[in-house]
Structure formats: C-alpha cells, structure tokens
Amino acid sequence: MQLALAMEIITGAKIRLRTRKNKYLTAGSDKESVRLERDGSAKQAVWTVEFVDGKSSIRIKSIYGKYLTATNEPLIPKAKGHKVLQTLPERLNSSTEWEMESDDTFGKDKLLRFKTHYGQYLRPYGGLPPFRNKVGHDVPCRTQTEDKIQWELEILETGDR
C-alpha cells in the first residue's frame, strides 16, 4: 500500500501509538506534557490524525485538542534530544507536522517512523530517570537504536470520509 493512500485511510482516525517495548504515547493530564505509559486503554493514549493540505504530512491531536509538537527545548539539560509537547499555537506551523515513513507501509506490523520537518524522529526514551518514560525527537546515532524510533500504529476508529 502506498504511503499517500495510508495517510488517506488514517486521516480523521482515532489511533494509538505503541513503542517496541509496549508503551503507549500519552497526553499528560497537565495538557502540555507527553509521556509513555503501559496502559493503552487510558483516554490520554488516544490521538486523532489530521492530514496537512498540500503536503505529505499529518498532525497528531491529543484528547485535549492540542497538537503533538516538536520543540527546540532540550529533553533534559545537556542531552541530545528535544522535548515533544502538546501545544495549540496561534498559527499551525511545521513544528506540529510529522511525516510518516515506513519500509512496508501498513504491512503486517504497521511499523512507522514520524519525522519532523527538520529530519528528526519522534522517539521514546527509557531507562533510568531522568529519561524514563520521556518522549522527544532526535536523530538516532547508531543502527542499533534505529528500531527505537519505530511506532506501531493501532487504528481504533476510522475517520469520517
């Protein structure tokens, strides 16, 4: 299936994004933060997809009506990655746009990568604090970490088309 067709299918859809370690991308109840949680049944784990007119990008909207946004803010001081937040900018811009990439678009695994306008990828972080359950964006530095930027797409409800 072509990526453009896949984008058409998920436009307006309610989705969940799951990491390879079975954690879900969730909107923080503070209506700003984004984190990873094991409970995918929580309403904060449900996102809506919007197609960006005239581009091959999407916007991902939280249950709070805010967009998944790549920021320039460091994830933690002196770290390579940058924060991803929920925001509602006055004007929607490229920081709220994500390009979907896949080696086998919506094949059996539905594994996707989400790339910012600047070539960085939505990435889950794990391990010990302060990285535990954080979500950011950066470029993987080794081929061993490339699978960490893959997300499994779960379509809960298709869009109104």
Local structure of residue 134 (DSSP, 8 states): B
**Separation of alpha carbons 27 and 20, rounded Å:** 19
For the domain spanning 3-157, the CATH number is 2.80.10.50
- Indicate whether this model's pTM tops 0.85: yes
Domain layout of the chain by residue ranges: 3-157
In order along its 161 residues, the chain shows pLDDT tens digits of 456 656 667 888 999 999 999 999 999 999 999 999 999 999 999 999 999 988 889 999 999 999 999 999 999 998 889 999 999 999 999 999 999 998 765 555 678 999 999 999 999 998 889 889 999 999 877 666 677 899 999 999 887 65
